[in-house]
């Protein structure tokens, strides 16, 4: 079961990267400098939102229904970007794959919880105390 979860998490990471690429390609696809900048800006916004609210070590990681809604909207934006590029069949396949992977992850034990952070150093403790 652990190897299946590992494979699913790897696939989910690949889908996250594909979502970022879809948004970048949407902005860049029409050509011109302004559109290229739009693509890069859209990519940066998507990456920043994921890093703030959905990444395992995010400082403001959402949980429960809020995380599910955020991820649905986040991946949905990538689906809309694919449709806007004239690739509706790819958008359907992409979103169906995301849903299947998330469903299988839920069945196999859910997403991993963020790793515990190291406790802060306390003055007066450690091997060099008093030196």
Domain boundaries, the chain: 2-107
Rounded CA separation 78/19 (Å) = 5
SS3 91: helix
Question: For residues 14 and 110, which has the higher predicted lDDT (pLDDT)?
Answer: 14
Q: Tell whether the model's pLDDT for residue 11 goes beyond 70.
A: yes
Cα-trace Rg, the chain? 19
Average pLDDT of span 84-89: 94
Per-residue pLDDT tens over the stretch 39-77:
899 999 999 999 999 998 999 999 999 999 999 999 999
pTM of the model: 0.78
Residues 23/40, Cβ–Cβ less than 8 Å: no
């Amino acid at each position: 079961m652990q190897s299946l979860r590992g494979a699913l998490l790897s696939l989910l990471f690949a889908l996250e990267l594909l979502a970022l690429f879809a948004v970048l390609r949407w902005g860049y696809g029409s050509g011109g400098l302004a559109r290229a900048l739009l693509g890069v800006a859209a990519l940066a916004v998507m990456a920043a939102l994921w890093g703030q609210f959905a990444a395992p070590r995010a400082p403001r990681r959402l949980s429960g229904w809020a995380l599910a809604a955020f991820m649905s909207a986040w991946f949905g934006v990538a689906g809309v970007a694919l449709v806007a590029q004239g690739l509706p069949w790819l958008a359907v396949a992409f979103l169906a794959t995301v849903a299947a992977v998330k469903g299988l992850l839920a069945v196999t034990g859910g997403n991993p919880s963020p790793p515990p952070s190291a406790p802060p150093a306390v003055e007066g403790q450690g091997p060099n105390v008093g030196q």
